[in-house]
A and B are shown apart, each in its own frame.
Chain A
Amino acid sequence: AQTIHQWPVAEIKAVGSPLSLGCTIKGKSSPNLYWYWQATGGTLQQLFYSITVGQVESVVQLNLSASRPKDDQFILSTEKLLLSHSGFYLCAWSLGNTLYFGEGSRLIVV
């Protein structure tokens, strides 16, 4: 069975500080991977997707970057957080054309 694990579960960070959110998928080789973001009370937006190691496509510009250093790992990061980065970040993988989501990481920027 496939499992998806996101870390950290929640973070409170200062404006201007760096951020790294991680996502690991087990039980599925070469999955398509995605990062989604949900502002508090807002709509889910796709940020990045990756179909293979080392290759990441940006969908929305939010002063964030993503990397796929391993087949089963997807990292979302920035060197300087903004207040507008607050929200809920979801990692997902796709099997065929169905998206399966992780439990999410809640980020509060103060």
Chain B
Amino acid sequence: QQKVQQSPESLTVSEGAMASLNCTFSDGTSNNFRWYRQHSAKGLEVLVSIFSDGEKEEGRFTAHLNRANLHVSLHIREPQPSDSAVYLCAVSLVNTGNYKYVFGAGTRLKVIA
């Protein structure tokens, strides 16, 4: 059973400073990794997807994946107060039909001006 854990639970950073969020997973055969953002119990917004070891950048969001270490991280460059939200890591092993993503509990990010 896949387990996904995120750290820290909450994080406060100043506007413009780098924010780094971590996610560890238990199933090393996982091959799909997503970072989502959720503002105040609303729908989820996909930020960046990564499928192979290394780095993937989408605007100010960069994901790093190291499958050997069962670790994927998200780095937010020049965060702004509008980036304050809960960030969710989603991990999946893609099989036919059901893309069953297991979500972490989230990291609550607060960006202060």
> Which residues of A pack against B, CB within 8 Å?
32, 38, 42-46, 49, 51, 57, 59, 88, 90, 92, 94, 97-104, 106
Contacts and interface: CB of A to CB of B under 8 A. Distances in A.
Taking chain A's interface residues, is the majority helix, strand, or loop, or is none over half, making it mixed? strand
B49 interface: yes
B34 A57 contact: no
A98 B46 contact: yes
Contacts of A99: 34, 44, 46, 90, 99, 101
A103 B39 CA distance: 10
Kindly state the interface size class of chain B when it binds its partner.
20 to 34
Interface in B35-63: 36, 41-46, 49
B99 A88 contact: no
Interface of B: 32, 34, 36, 41-46, 49, 88, 90, 92, 94, 97-101, 103-106
Nearest to A104: B43
A97 B91 CA distance: 11
Contacts of A97: 32, 92, 94, 99
Given A57-B98, A99-B34, A43 B105 contact: yes
The 6 closest A-B pairs by CB, nearest first: A44-B103, A101-B44, A103-B43, A101-B43, A49-B98, A43-B105
Contacts of A100: 46
A32 B99 contact: yes
Given A43-B103, A43-B105, A99-B34, A104 B42 contact: yes
Given A99-B90, A101-B44, A106-B41, A49 B97 contact: yes
A98 B103 contact: no
Given A44-B88, A97-B92, A90 B44 contact: yes
A33 to B, nearest CB: 11
